[in-house]
């Protein structure tokens, strides 16, 4: 990392290019040469999660710095920073300064996460989310579109977090603590799941319902026919 110390401008914390070294490694050394106060952060193309950014924020705060602006080249980092309420400016191809545009960038994309999300983990994406692994109690996943989990959902899932009421949550075992679709919230079911049957949650007549994720049923549903059997409404 290098420092830019132009008089009058905020201090700029530069992340190293990806793969040469990890940004956390040279952070303390770089901060040592700074005056406490506001800093701008150039995250280059690094993909940072909310957790990464939070950690960075705490580290900076402990050292007497505050984050004035995050300049990010990676759409995921932009979203993470926005989720934390930080000032963000996307850098990269179109140098756009309109946050609306960057939020939309990822919306049609599918984000795939491999591995189990454990208590305290958070995953947030603008588009659809596919998780190959479990979501444990205490973990939280949210997506602008559908949340699909090839594993067990026992934490909290939020599909259609920007208001998409057609978003769905699908999991091999759907036993979340809490389920959110668009602006609806429901507690998870408490009965034992049927073995070997994937389940799906969606909004039907203003309520979140859960039912077996039957692919034929889904297709009919998508084509506009009402499903043969209405799902069980949840509390």
Rounded to whole angstroms, how far apart are CA atoms 152 and 150? 7
Cβ proximity to another protein, 88 vs 169, nearer residue: 169
Q: How far is the CB of 28 from another protein (least distance, A)?
A: 9
**C-beta of residue 186 within 8 angstroms of C-beta of residue 213:** no
Q: Could you tell me what percentage of the chain is helix, strand and coil, using 3-state DSSP and rounding each to the nearest 5?
A: 20, 35, 45
Cβ proximity to another protein, 134 vs 146, nearer residue: 134
Which one among 37, 120, 230, 233 touches another protein, defined by CB under 8 A? Answer: 120
What is each CA distance from 125 to 6, 14, 18, 129, in whole angstroms?
A: 36, 25, 21, 7
Looking at 93-101, 103-111, 116-124, 163-171, which segment touches another protein (CB under 8 A)? 116-124
What is each CA distance from 224 to 75, 108, 206, in whole angstroms?
A: 34, 22, 17
Q: Tell me: does residue 124 bind another protein (CB under 8 A).
A: no
How many other C-beta atoms lie within 10 A of the C-beta of residue 230?
Answer: 11
Show contacts with another protein in window 25-84 (CB under 8 A): none
Site string for another protein, 151-180 (x = CB under 8 A): ---x--------------------x-----
Cβ proximity to another protein, 95 vs 192, nearer residue: 192
Q: How far is the CB of 31 from another protein (least distance, A)?
A: 14
Output DSSP code: residue 144: S
What is each CA distance from 154 to 82, 158, 194, in whole angstroms?
A: 26, 13, 15
Cβ proximity to another protein, 31 vs 126, nearer residue: 31
Q: Is the dihedral of CA 82, 14, 122, 54 positive or negative?
A: negative
Which one among 163, 192, 196, 222 touches another protein, defined by CB under 8 A? Answer: 192
Query: Bridge partners of 72?
Result: 90
Q: How far is the CB of 7 from another protein (least distance, A)?
A: 32
What is the phi/psi pair of residue 171, to 5°?
-150, 155
Q: Tell me: does residue 202 bind another protein (CB under 8 A).
A: no
Q: How far is the CB of 227 from another protein (least distance, A)?
A: 27
Q: How far is the CB of 133 from another protein (least distance, A)?
A: 9
210 Cβ neighbours under 8 A, 6+ residues apart = 174, 179, 189, 199, 200, 201, 231, 232, 234
Q: How far is the CB of 115 from another protein (least distance, A)?
A: 8
Which one among 61, 94, 119, 194 touches another protein, defined by CB under 8 A? Answer: 119
Residues of this chain that bind another protein (CB under 8 A): 116-121, 134, 136-138, 154, 175, 190, 192
């Amino acid at each position: 990392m290098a420092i830019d110390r132009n008089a009058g401008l905020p201090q700029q914390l530069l992340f190293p290019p990806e793969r040469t070294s990890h940004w956390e490694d040279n952070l303390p050394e770089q901060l040592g040469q700074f005056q406490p106060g506001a800093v701008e952060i150039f995250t280059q193309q690094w993909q940072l999660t909310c957790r990464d950014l939070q950690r960075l924020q705490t580290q900076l705060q402990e050292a007497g710095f505050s984050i004035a602006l995050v300049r990010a080249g990676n759409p995921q980092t932009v979203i993470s920073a926005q989720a934390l309420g930080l000032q963000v400016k996307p850098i990269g191809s179109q140098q756009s300064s309109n946050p609306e545009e960057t939020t939309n960038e990822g919306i049609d994309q599918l984000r795939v996460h491999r591995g189990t999300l454990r208590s305290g983990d958070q995953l947030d994406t603008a588009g659809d989310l596919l998780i190959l692994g479990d979501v444990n109690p205490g973990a939280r996943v949210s997506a602008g579109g559908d949340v699909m989990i090839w594993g067990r959902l026992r934490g909290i899932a939020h599909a259609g977090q920007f208001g998409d009421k057609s978003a769905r949550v699908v999991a091999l075992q759907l036993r979340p603590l809490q389920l959110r679709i668009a602006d609806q919230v429901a507690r998870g079911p408490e009965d034992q799941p049927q073995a070997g049957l994937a389940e799906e949650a969606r909004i039907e007549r203003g309520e979140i319902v859960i039912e077996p994720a039957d692919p034929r049923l889904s297709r009919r549903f998508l084509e506009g026919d009402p499903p043969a059997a209405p799902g069980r409404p949840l509390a």
